[in-house]
Chain A
Amino acid sequence: QLQLQESGPGLVKPSETLSLSCTVSGGYISRSSYFWAWVRQPPGKALEWIGSMYQGGSAYYNPSLRSRVTISVDNSMNQFSLSLRSATAADTAIYFCARDDGYGSFDFWGQGKLVAV
């Protein structure tokens, strides 16, 4: 069974970079034909897609965040990561990592990581 687990700081200072990693177990990122995604949920608000990346390198981002976001994959660690630059209080949220079929269907999710800015 595929499992995903987010990790990283729970507190980030304004203007700094929010960085999280997602470790995948029970399967290999490099051997899959899936995308790997980040989704967040600000307190009291709806889910928001941040972006998705294919293990081969193609990445797609929410236009509202594109200028500040990078998703990268480390196949050797079987991890993928999120980098959100110039963080503000509006970036305070629970951040989820998930597997994406490439069309917005997220079938496996991490438990979520609360990050406060």
Chain B
Amino acid sequence: QSALAQPRSVSGSPGQSVTISCTGTSGDVGGYNYVSWYQHHPGKAPKLLISEVYKRPSGVPDRFSGSKSGNRASLTITGLQAEDEADYYCCSYGGSDIFFVAFGGGTKLTVL
């Protein structure tokens, strides 16, 4: 079980859209619809943005959306705001032989 692959950094200007990818394998991302996304401002607790590929918990703005195709999941943020600048992590369940949860390496979003 390896960490999921994410770009180390992405950037965008206020109002623009960005997409963060998360690549796994058929044993995790591709095999289950249990991909979640987290926003993490350093020094604070991570915040759940998306669960089960595309589901937004109550209180999460609809500017955040999730999707998946094959072994790759994506988080799209539209209408970028300054407060969106943070680290973003994907996470996937992988239970083909043993229960396992893998996080991605994290993506630093910079709002220019």
Contacts and interface: CB of A to CB of B under 8 A. Distances in A.
Contacts of A103: 32, 34, 52, 93
A38 to B, nearest CB: 11
A105 interface: yes
Q: Which size bracket describes the interface of A in this complex?
A: 20 to 34
Given A60-B98, A103-B93, A104-B93, A110 B103 contact: no
B46 A109 contact: yes
B89 A47 contact: yes
Contacts of B51: 101, 105, 107
Given A52-B101, A63-B100, A105 B52 contact: yes
Contacts of A47: 38, 40, 46, 89, 91, 103, 106
A104 B93 CA distance: 5
B23 interface: no
A62 interface: yes
Interface in B31-58: 32, 34, 36, 38, 40, 44-48, 51-52, 57
Contacts of B3: 46
B102 A46 contact: no
Interface in A43-78: 46-49, 52, 60, 62-63
A14 to B, nearest CB: 25
B98 A63 contact: yes
Contacts of B44: 111
A83 B40 CA distance: 25
B104 A46 contact: yes
Given A46-B3, A47-B106, A103-B34, A96 B99 contact: no
Given A104-B34, A104-B36, A110-B45, A49 B106 contact: no
Given A49-B102, A60-B99, A63-B98, A96 B45 contact: yes
Q: Closest 5 CB pairs between A and B?
A: A60-B99, A109-B45, A104-B101, A103-B34, A105-B51
Given A46-B105, A96-B46, 6 more contacts: A37-B101, A47-B91, A47-B103, A104-B101, A106-B91, A110-B45
